[in-house]
Amino acid sequence: MKSLSVVELSKLYSINRQTIYNHINKGILSKNSDNKIDLSEAIRVFGEPSKKQSVKEPVKVDSQNSTENLLLRQQIDMLKNQLEDAKERESFYQNQIETMQRLLEAPKANMTTFIDQKREQNIATDPQKEPELKADELTTPVETENKRIPV
């Protein structure tokens, strides 16, 4: 059962602390190892308490902490809603992508891409041109020599 201090017991039964100490010294009331009196022991000696008060200590409510907790809970709810909206949006876009992929036609085997066509066209129609000589005939084509160093 619950253990009570001498002060708590005196408040519960509305009796003087000295009376409780006298009962303890005479052996009428006993304390346990942590110097508290068991509630059942107090009921045995003093009977049921006339006031039905709770012996619990009053809970201190800090208004600043409660407001902060309220704001944090509101923020958590808002973030949960945003997360749910983002998941719905992601699902919608994923469905859109899948729909568009199904609508795309599969590429044919004999088709070439635009880049491949351009490469073939450049090779066929634009052979490398020789640099043109300028009117002063001082410009000569630059020939690149093999400038490797023999090993």
**Residues 50, 15 contacting (CB under 8 angstroms):** no
pLDDT in tens, the chain (151 residues): 788 899 998 998 889 999 999 999 998 988 888 889 998 888 899 888 876 555 566 666 677 788 999 999 999 999 999 999 999 999 999 999 999 998 887 767 666 555 656 555 555 555 555 555 555 555 555 555 667 777 6
Q: How many residues does the chain have?
A: 151
Q: Domain-by-domain residue ranges, the chain?
A: 3-46, 62-103
**Residues 13, 42 contacting (CB under 8 angstroms):** yes
